[in-house]
Structure formats: structure tokens, C-alpha cells
Structure 1
Amino acid sequence: MESSPSHLRELDLEDRTPYQPSAGAEPNSRTRILRRGLQSPNCELEVLRLRLEGLSEADCELFASALRSAPPCMKELELTDCDLSGPGVQFVCFPLQSPDHQLAALRLKESKVPDQVYEAVASALKRSPSHLRRLELVWWDSGDLGDSGASLLSAGLRSPTCELQTLSLYGCSLSGSSFSPLVSALEANPSHLLDLNLGWNPLQDSGVMELCGFLRSPRLENCSLTAVSCSLLVSALRSGPARLENLDLSWNELKDSGVKELCSFLEDPSCRLQTLGSVPVCLVTPEHTGEETPEPRTQTTLGSGFWAGSGGPTAGFTHSAVSRAVLKVRFAQQAGS
């Protein structure tokens, strides 16, 4: 990054060496070295992904300071296990709010995210022109976007200048009061969003009912859904433009009745669904019962959560349900053998 010219455009650093900074600790040596490269006038780094065990508030503050003096070339920033709760929050806020920066993708995973970050994201989405195209907030354990965070994000999503294409709010404890304003904002400004990931949020069937007015390739993995959600989704797809190509309902208790609803829609000539989960399969029409494998009507994907068998924390239905829904399912890799 300090060489002239510098050709490094993408940097992905992961260091899980145990490091537990004490309260008020100074930034460690690895942070100082990276800071020196970032603030070099020769630095043209566009993509930075950091997963540094024990990245403290002081470390983040040092990185923020480096970005202020660095050339404005950062396009993608991904941080994992970072404490952004203090002055280090500017590590994220500065490239979002600075008119000289054009940050297009922000991913925050398992990090302490204060409302200041959501305010900065909203500000970036309201800017004209807005450069942010991808926003991912991911928690595997105990994330909580909260009502205030959801409200701030909603203000940005509602903006007519917002051109966000991918929104992932994974494991953010979305439900009720925090989910409704987000859906309302997405419905008000739906033109650009292509991919919506709401996995591992307790949305339940009531959340899907709100979402039915806005279907953009939703990923609804482990959202406490039942067969009621299948009925709601299929009804919305039949009554509206059949543009939906991707749908993930893995790890939900859909039962046989829910699967029948989905399968009946897959047979509909208007169905454009290409992905139903994450594992490739061939869908074969019921009249083909011999050994010879015909060309499938469509190449589709069915999530692995659907096929773990009954009794586990999966879709909760039997294989015979699919047979009764007049579809034979075979994995694509077997069909190609």
C-alpha cells in the first residue's frame, strides 16, 4: 500500500490469535502497521475485510483516523467482531458520510453497532447520488437491531435517492414494531432492491403477511413460519406479477400442507421460481415414471433444510407429501450422472 505505484486493491485479513485488550488500552502493533498502509498517499485499496480477534474501540478509532487522511478510494468495507460503540464508530461512519468517498458495500458481522452507524447509513442512502448498493448486518448469536435502529434504516430506505440492491438483516431479532417500518419503507421505494435476506428473525406468519406486498427474492430461513406463510406467499404470487425467482423457506415448520401449497405453485405455468432453498434439484413432471429421465421443465433449487427428514429442526414434513403433490424430486447431480 505504501509502494509507488501501489497495485493492491483488495485486502482480506483474519487473525484469531487471542487478544484481550484492557479498558483504555492502546492500539496494538498489527493495527498500527495497517494504519500506516491505509493512510499512505499511494494507497489505492478498494476492498477491506477485517476479522481481527479482539479489535478494540481504540483500534477502530485508529483506523478511522487513517481513513480521514487516506485517498478516498474505498468501495467495500467488511468488519467482523469489531467494537464500534465508542469513537471508533467513525471507522464506518466516515466513509459513509464523506462526500469524497463512494462506499458501495458495507458488511458488519458480529459487531457492536450503535445507532450512529444506522444514522450514517441512512445519510448515505439519502445522498444524491447515493452510492451504497449492498448493506449486510449479520449476527449469529445475540444481535438486536432494535426499534431505533430499524427506524433510522427505514428513513434511508424510504428516500427516493436510495438505490440499495442487496439488504441482509440476518439474526437482527426483527419482529413486530421493528419489522413494520422496514417493510413500509421497502414498499414505498421498491424499484432497486433485488435481494432481501431476513433469515433467523422471529417474523412468524404475521411478518410474512406484511411482506407479501413486497416480494424481492426473500430469504426467510428459520423465521418461525408455518404452513400459513406458504398459503400467504403462494396467494400473493398468484395474484401479482410472477417475478419471484428465489425463495428460501428452509428450517421452518411448514408441514405437509405447506409443502403442497408450494408444489402446486411450482406446477403453475406462470411460475418463474428458480431457487427454493440452496441445494440444486431437478423437478420432473409426474407422468415420467420410467427409468429414463426426461428433460426437466425447469432447473430449480430446494434447500437442504427441506430434506433432513422428519423429527429434526427442519421444514417438518414427509417426503410423501411431495409425491402427493404430483412432483418427483431428484438431485441434479444424480440426474447428470
Structure 2
Amino acid sequence: MEEFVLKKFTGSQNTADEVLQKLLPVIKECRSAQLYDCGVTDEGCAALAPALRSNPSHLRELNLSMNELGDSGVNLLNHCGVTDEGCVALASALRSNSTHLRELNLSRNKLQDSGLKLLSDGLKDPHCKLEKLRLWDCGVTDEGCAALASALRSNPSHLRELDLNYNKLGDSGLKLLSEALKDPLCKLETLWLNDCGVTDEGCAALTSALRSNPSHLRELSLSENKLGDSAVKLLSDMKKDPQYGLQKFLF
């Protein structure tokens, strides 16, 4: 089976965990498992983890968004209450099984800067091949950006997509990220920074980074920020200039 889907299961949490355990023989043979908003808890994850270990090469996508997992460390944990403790486990997983994970969605969790620092330690591993990282509305500020920028400089060649929408980065956070983007080995293609408190000052740093490393960034979103006309024009002109790779600019 290519895909298994169980969304918005309406039973109790205990029932959801029991159903998940019964379905494990089917799930572990699938390429994709969508278990969105099913009331799964840590108990269900405890059963799921050994099933994945028994057949580790098959499952490629696991979506456990909008469940009650707490700090269980699994892929695509959108809005699941993950905190620092879960980030420690995720960082360890990135280091110990770093060649397999390609996409990690931790949006709307309470990571804060401390959680991102812990996760960044895993991203620094030279064998980490993570390509997509989504941290939408995670309470990240410029302090977390410093850790993320450090990780990008340590292991710059794999991350292709970074979503930091609705965090409190400000100009100082964007400046830190821009320094990492200047690295000629950086291959980031998509950067989302909607409603991050960015002004013309942060855009100036980003523009400088794009001039230093013009060929890779394809999509940039700066919607809901405080950008002046001059900053918008500068980035819009870059989009029109064929020497830059920028193909999509949202503001």
C-alpha cells in the first residue's frame, strides 16, 4: 500500500492509541502514513516506534499533526506540544539516523530559542541531509536565529527550504541568517519570513547576502512585515534580473 490515511478520528484518546496499535502491521508496510488529528498520545507513539524499527526502510512520510504526543520525537509534529525535551530527542535522532530524514515540521510548537538551539546541534552533524525545516510560529527570536545560522554555516549544502513564518526574528535575526546565506556552499532555495518584524534594515542585509550568493534562492516571502517602498523595489528588481535565481517574491 502506498498511503494509509486516518484523519480526525473521533474516539477517545485511549481508543485512538488502541486503534493505532491494531493498525501497525498495515502502517509499517506503507510508504506514507497520514494520522492527522486522531487523538494519538505518547502511548500510541510508544507502539509505533518499535514497529518502525522492525521495518525501517519502507515508510517515507509520517504525519502525526494535531495529536497529543507531547515530547515524542517523530517527523511532522505540527502543533503537538513539543518542547525542549522533545528537541533533545530529535537532535539525537538527526545525529544517529541522519542520512534518512529529509523533512521536519515542528510548526506551532513551544520550541522557543532554547529548543531551536538544541535542534541546531543535530543540524550541525556533517551527515545530516535534512532538506525542509518548518518552524512556523514557534516563538523563535534572534537568539534562536544565531543558533540556526551557526548550523547553516557548519552544514550548509543540504537545507533547501526554511519556514520561519510568524516568529519574532526582527532585523537582528534576519541579519544573522543573511550571514549564513552568504556562504557559497549554501543551497537554500525557499525562505519564508512572513510577519517576523522585519524592516528595511533587515532587507538590506538580505540583499547583500543575495548579491554574494545570487544563484540559489528561488522563493522569498516577506509578507506582513514593515517594508518600505525602497526595500520592496530592490528585491523586486532582483527578481527581474536574470543574474539572480530569485523567481518568486511575496511582500
Give the TM-score taking structure 2 as reference length. Answer: 0.84
Residue of structure 2 aligned with 1:11, choices 1, 4, 10: 4
Higher strand share: 1
Unpaired segments of 5 or more residues in structure 2?
182-187
Structure with more relative contact order (C-alpha pairs < 8 Å, separation 6 or more): 2
Residue 207 of structure 2: aligned partner: 234
Q: Matched residue of 1:206: which SS? A: helix
| 52 and 144 in structure 1: CA distance in 2 versus 1, 3 angstrom threshold | closer
**TM-score, L = length of structure 1:** 0.64
**Residues in 1 aligned to 2:28 and 2:175: alpha-carbon distance in whole angstroms:** 48
**CA separation in 2, counterparts of 1:43 and 1:218?**
33
Q: Is it true that 1:36 corresponds to 2:36 in the alignment?
A: no
The corresponding residue for 1:252 is: 225
List per-residue Cα deviations over 1:33-82 (Å, max 9, x = no partner). 33122146x951221121235434444444446556x5333222111222
Shift of 1:241: 3.8
Aligned counterparts of 1:153 and 1:129: Cα–Cα separation in 2: 13
SS of structure 1 residue aligned to 2:104: strand
CA distance in 2 between counterparts of 1:71 and 1:191 reads 29
| Selected match of 2:172 from 206, 215, 218 | 206
> How has the CA–CA distance of structure 1 residues 147 and 174 changed in structure 2, closer, same or farther, with 3 Å as cutoff?
closer
Amino acid at match of 2:10: T
Aligned counterpart, 1:46: 31
2:91 matches 1:122 = yes
Taking the aligned partners of 2:126 and 2:28, their CA distance within structure 1 comes to: 34
Query: Are positions 1:80 and 2:80 aligned together?
Result: no
Q: Could you tell me how far 1:184 is from its partner in structure 2?
A: 0.7
The structure with the largest alpha-carbon Rg is 1
Q: Aligned to 2:76, what secondary structure does the other structure show?
A: strand
Q: 2:149 aligns with which of 183, 200, 210?
A: 183
Query: Number of residues paired by the alignment?
Result: 243
User: Conserved in 2, the CA contact under 8 Å of 1:83 and 1:113?
Assistant: no
Can you give the 5+ residue segments of structure 1 that lack an aligned partner in the other structure? 1-7, 22-26, 94-105, 278-305, 307-337
Tell me which residue corresponds to 2:115. 149
Alpha-carbon shift at residue 128 of structure 1 (Å): 6.4
Q: Aligned-pair distance for 1:129?
A: 6.0
CA shift, 1:210, in A, is 0.6
Partner of residue 132 from structure 1, selected from 96, 101, 105: 101
Superposed CA offset, 1:242-286 (max 9, x none)? 332111111212122221222333343422211113xxxxxxxxx
> 1:36·1:66 contact (CA, 8 Å) conserved in 2?
no
Answer yes or no: is the 8 Å Cα contact 1:127–1:161 preserved in 2. no
More deviation, 159-168/242-251: 242-251
Cα distance between partner residues in 1 of 2:42 and 2:104? 22
Instruction: Measure, in 2, the Cα distance between the counterparts of 1:60 and 1:203.
Output: 33
Say whether the 8 Å CA contact 2:134–2:163 is kept in structure 1. yes
Higher helix share: 2
